[in-house]
Structure 1
């Protein structure tokens, strides 16, 4: 249980930093989670549609539209037409939002990377396996 409690403590701290970032930048905490989802989709080369965003955040279509509208109004995302299917709208995180995020979260990320520097490649792989399995165990809970 010690590992579960530590993982929860790390999650709480990340959540507090997200809330702080949101407050500093006139955003709702859900907006920050939405940006993270969109950045993760881009990194995974997944089409970032409003439907994907709503599913990942557990929002209905009205809630998803509200988040997308807020982020677009703030200049953090843009709606763009899919080049392969012009009927489909994709969501793109704008460079200024990425820059804003790095200014705030960069030192936090660098701190975590610094911690990982003290681990051997085998230990890092063990951490990766644990976090991947923990994520898999927790993620289906959102579906219930």
Structure 2
């Protein structure tokens, strides 16, 4: 594949997206540092919160696959999060061999304290958009998420 010219309105969007990604990564790092977390711990909490919002049951194996961690790495991660009171492991009532994961309310409260004002501002900003504009933003971000997921699967 040849080199793509780095000009035009499309690249302005690419550069803006890169700047947003960098800024969010820095904010996530600040949140992790303030709360004694490793950046992977924050990614794990986000995965678990998103899964809970989607109604998806989560297991250590599922989480490890999401984060591309081996079993030992996943166990160490969950041990840290459990020790900090941010995640709990419970036995599945229907299959006692299976362990389910849940985010503790303490983790949600920490996240809301740090990220809540920015999320509120984002929601407020989106209220100035027409429904059609919101649909375009959602379509764009959905497409970006798909491209990133495909790239992650390709290794």
Same structural fold, with TM-score higher than 0.5 when normalized by the shorter chain: yes
- Give the alignment partner of residue 32 of structure 1, picking from 16, 34, 42: 42
For 1:35 and 1:133, the matched residues in 2 are separated by 23
Matched, 1:45 2:70: no
For 1:140 and 1:66, the matched residues in 2 are separated by 27
Matched, 1:84 2:84: no
Gaps of 5+ in 1: none
TM-score, with structure 1 as normaliser: 0.96
State the 1:83 CA deviation: 2.0
Q: Is the 8 A contact 1:58 1:142 kept in 2?
A: no
Q: Tell me the number of residue pairs that the alignment of Structure 1 and Structure 2 aligns.
A: 144
- Give the alignment partner of residue 7 of structure 1, picking from 5, 13, 17: 17
Matched, 1:61 2:97: no
Q: How big is each residue's C-alpha offset from its partner over 1:20-54, in whole Å with a ceiling of 9 and x where there is no partner?
A: 01100111111011000000010111111111111
For 2:62 and 2:14, the matched residues in 1 are separated by 29
TM-score, with structure 2 as normaliser: 0.89
Partner of 2:32: 22
What's the RMSD between the two structures over aligned residues? 0.9
Gaps of 5+ in 2: 1-10
State the 1:139 CA deviation: 0.9
